[in-house]
Amino acid sequence: MLRSLFGIGPKVDLKQVLAQGAVILDVRTPEEFAQGHVQGSINIPLDVLTQNLHQLDKDKPVITCCRSGMRSGQAVHVLQDHGFTVHNGGPWTEVDQLVKQR
């Protein structure tokens, strides 16, 4: 139940998803993003995500991230509802570590 609430589906190897050319979407505010983010990530705050879906490519998987994983979980639902292949990466710092390990 909680996994679904936070946009966490079946366990997925995010390193593999990154290797497939995934886009990293940070849904924090611009101020939070400016304080630190995953290199190469796109910042579209959760509250304006629906209006900015045109900035994303439906042909590429998306990994969402935020500060704790809650907003990114909500973003997963929004993106799935619009036909995106999407995974919740949780906190941006964890996604950052995955990117640096590549």
Q: Which two tokens stand for residue 90?
A: 């949780």
Q: Which of 66, 76, 79, 99 is catalytic?
A: 66
Q: Is 66 a catalytic residue?
A: yes
Helix (H, G, I), strand (E, B) or coil at 89: strand
Q: Which two tokens stand for residue 32?
A: 């939070």
* Active site amino acids: 66
